[in-house]
Amino acid sequence: MPKLTINGKELEVPAGTNLIQAAKQVGSEVPHFCYHPGLSVAGNCRMCLVEIEKAPKLQIACNTAVTEGMVVFTESEKVKKARQGVMEFLLLNHPIDCPICDCAGECYLQDYYMAHDKAPSRTEEPKNKKAKAEDIGPHVMLDKERCVLCSRCVRFTDEISKTHELGIFGRGSTEEIDLAPGMRLENDYSGNVVDLCPVGALTDKDFRFKSRPWFLRETNTVCGGCAMGCNIVLNTNLNPYNKVGQKRAYRIYPRENAEVNQFWICDEGRYSYHAIDENRKEGASLSGTPVTLDFGLARFSEGLKKAIAAGADQVAFLLSPQMTTEELTAWKELAAALGVTQVAYGDDIKRTGKADAFLMKADKNPNTAGAAALGIAPAAAPLLAKAADGSLKALVVVDHELANAAELAGKLEFFAFVATHNTPTDKAAHVSLPRAMYVEQDGHFTNVQGKVQEVKKAMEPIGEAKGGVELAAQLSMRLLPVKATA
């Protein structure tokens, strides 16, 4: 491991580390636009110039690997002057339309201007005019004037999505990012270019003009869109409402995890946050008629008690791999305490969808591996067959959409449902309880790689919804004798 000195501080880092990463370890941020750890080094923004002893010129930190005995200065006068120069060049033809720019508040140009420039503009020449607000794909808008031509988005489409939609066209100061002829930025990962864009050149149609970033709260959590469990940041309103019809979640963007999703997320996961606010089940219902949660719980426990009294072997629980491991455990324990042995999760009737060789998995449940690890049977079909042929009296279903729900409701003495969203099954069930989504409670998911990842509560559950653990606790209070503790 080479030893080097950065700003007078000695450190030892693995060979091959570049100076941006090494400087970070001594607490020095080297500003950069084009460098991104997930992409190849382009070295074109020239913002990361640093001074290296014995080097005749300033060197770009992103393309300079550490060597033994290297002496680096990231804050010398020469470096500061070069940075200020680059900032001046970048802002020369930048429209500085921050007040109407969606990126304001999370823009590298703004941040670096305050940190490294702070000088008034010296130019008197007219600025270059380029196209603004160009629709380049289903999710992304392009503003060529704001672009700093760092080529991150181009490299993303070349190296990560491998779809090659974007390119740099033209030359010199008239150069611009554009679509390859005849193409649109239409791939399953297109939203990532918005996160990559250090300025407001690429903006997300979904998020445009919805909120200023400083009005948003960040929660580090895990995407519940599929079995991959990509690490994400969920942006929510600073003071989220908990009523249906109020926008609480604003966007999802990926969080670095080298072992799971690196720096990326698919568009399906990115826009899955809409489900947090849309069509949510806010309260309990009896065959579709809304009731209070208390009433729903009472009916739920009464029905279940009656069925168990008639014979626990005719009762079945069908749990969901949408639930966190904690929820699954609570319901599994509840079933065990009640003497119910027929407990399964629907691996065979799970939600499935588009898959690829990168991040998208066909299994659209975030916790299939977690349910399997708990030893719950992955077979819903036999239970449902039993329910259909009349050999079951009671069935509790969590978050599985059943095609024959209405038929089951007629056959079963007690058909209960626990769900996060309003669905036809929800209307058919005798009793239905509202469950909090994974973003509304703390817990864990186990992804397809077997990694147990923490899911964090980003907001209060909507309406009267409760997490699966609390619902199980409420039911057990009503169903089970209270034991005195020592």
Partner 1 sequence: MSSPIFLTKNFKNPEAQTYDGYVKAGGYAALKKALTMKPEEIIEEVKKGNLRGRGGAGFPAGVKWGFLPKNYTGPKYLCVNADEGEPGTFKDGPLMEFDPHQMLEGIAITCYATDIHSAYVYIRGEFHKAFRAVELAIEECYAKGIFGPNVMGSNFSLECRPHPGAGAYICGEETGLISSLEGKKGFPKLKPPFPAIKGLFDCPTLVNNVETLACVPHIINMGAEAWAALGCEKNGGTKLYCVSGQISKPGLYELPHSVTLKELLYDHCGGPLSGRTIKAVIPGGSSAKILKAPDEIDVRMDFDSLGKAGTMLGSAAVIVIDDSTSMVRALDNLLRFYAHESCGQCTPCREGTKWISKIIRRVANGQGEIEDLDKILGILTNMVGNTICVLADAAAFPAESFIKKFRPEFEEYIKRGKRMSMTGWREEAVPKAMAGAH
Number of residues that bind partner 1 (CB under 8 A): 39
Kindly indicate which of the ranges 118-126, 136-144, 194-202, 458-466 contains the residues binding partner 1, using the contact rule CB under 8 A: 118-126
Rg (CA), the chain: 28
d(CA 415, CA 329): 21
Q: DSSP character for 65? A: B
The answer to whether 319 and 459 are in contact (CB under 8 A) is no
Type of residue at 32? H
User: Is 233 strand, coil or helix?
Assistant: strand
State yes or no: residue 37 binds partner 1 (CB under 8 A): no
Of 173-181, 192-200, 252-260, 476-484, the segment contacting partner 1 by CB under 8 A is 173-181
Counting contacts by CB under 8 A, is residue 172 touching partner 1? yes
177 in contact with partner 1 (CB under 8 A) = no
Q: How far, in Å, CA of 195 to CA of 203, rounded?
A: 9
Does 86 bind partner 1 (CB under 8 A)? Our answer is yes
Q: Does 54 bind partner 1 (CB under 8 A)?
A: no
> In the 8-state DSSP scheme, what is residue 1?
-
Question: Which range in 46-54, 197-205, 212-220, 379-387 contacts partner 1 by CB under 8 A?
Answer: 46-54
Residue 224 sits at the vertex; the CA angle it makes with 199 and 40, to the nearest 5 degrees, is 40
Tell me which residue of 107, 205, 183, 191 sits closest to 153, measured CA to CA: 191
Residues 6+ apart with CB under 8 A from 299: 286, 291, 430, 431
60 versus 402: smaller Cβ distance to partner 1: 60
| Among 61, 111, 113, 62, residue whose Cα is nearest residue 86 | 113
CB of 17 to partner 1, least distance (A): 16
**18 and 43 Cβ atoms separated by less than 8 Å:** no
Candidate segments 41-49, 256-264, 276-284, 432-440, binder of partner 1 by CB under 8 A: 41-49
41: contact with partner 1 by CB under 8 A: yes
Under the criterion CB under 8 A, does residue 170 sit at the interface with partner 1? yes
- 121 near partner 1 (CB under 8 A): no
Q: How near is the Cβ of 178 to partner 1 at its closest, in Å? A: 12
For every residue of 137-193, DSSP letters joined together read SSSEEE-TTT-----HHHHHHHHTS----EEEES-GGG-EEEEPTT--S-STTTTHH
The residue (of 89 and 241) whose beta carbon lies closer to partner 1 is: 89
Q: Can you tell me the distance from the alpha carbon of 303 to that of 259, in angstroms, rounded to the nearest whole number?
A: 46
Q: How far is the CB of 189 from partner 1 (least distance, A)?
A: 23
Q: Find out whether 113 and 59 touch, Cβ atoms under 8 Å.
A: no
Instruction: List alpha helices for 318-455, DSSP H.
Output: 325-338, 368-373, 381-389, 405-411, 424-428
Task: Please give the order of strands across the beta sheet that includes 216-222.
Answer: 216-222, 231-237, 249-254
Tokens, residue 51: 């001074």
> Which of 19, 20, 48, 58 contacts partner 1 by CB under 8 A?
58
Binder of partner 1 out of 8, 171, 182, 483 (CB under 8 A): 171
Among 82, 141, 323, 465, binds partner 1 (CB under 8 A): 82
85 binds partner 1 (CB under 8 A): yes
Tell me if 295 contacts partner 1 by CB under 8 A: no
- In the DSSP assignment, the letter for residue 404 is T
**Binder to partner 1 among 11, 168, 372, 379 (CB under 8 A)?**
168
Among 30, 101, 149, 458, the residue binding partner 1 under the rule CB under 8 A is 149
- Choose, by CB under 8 A, the member of 32, 46, 144, 251 that binds partner 1: 46
Contact call for residue 483 and partner 1 (CB under 8 A): no
CA distance 80 to 53: 16
| Contact status: 89 vs partner 1 (CB under 8 A) | yes
- The answer to whether residue 389 forms part of the interface with partner 1 (CB under 8 A) is no
Binding characters for partner 1, 203-242, by CB under 8 A (x = yes): ----------------------------------------
Min dist CB 97 to partner 1, Å, is 18
Interacting residue ranges for partner 1, rule: CB under 8 A: 41-47, 49, 56-58, 60, 63, 81-82, 84-86, 88-90, 92-93, 122-126, 128, 148-149, 167-168, 170-175
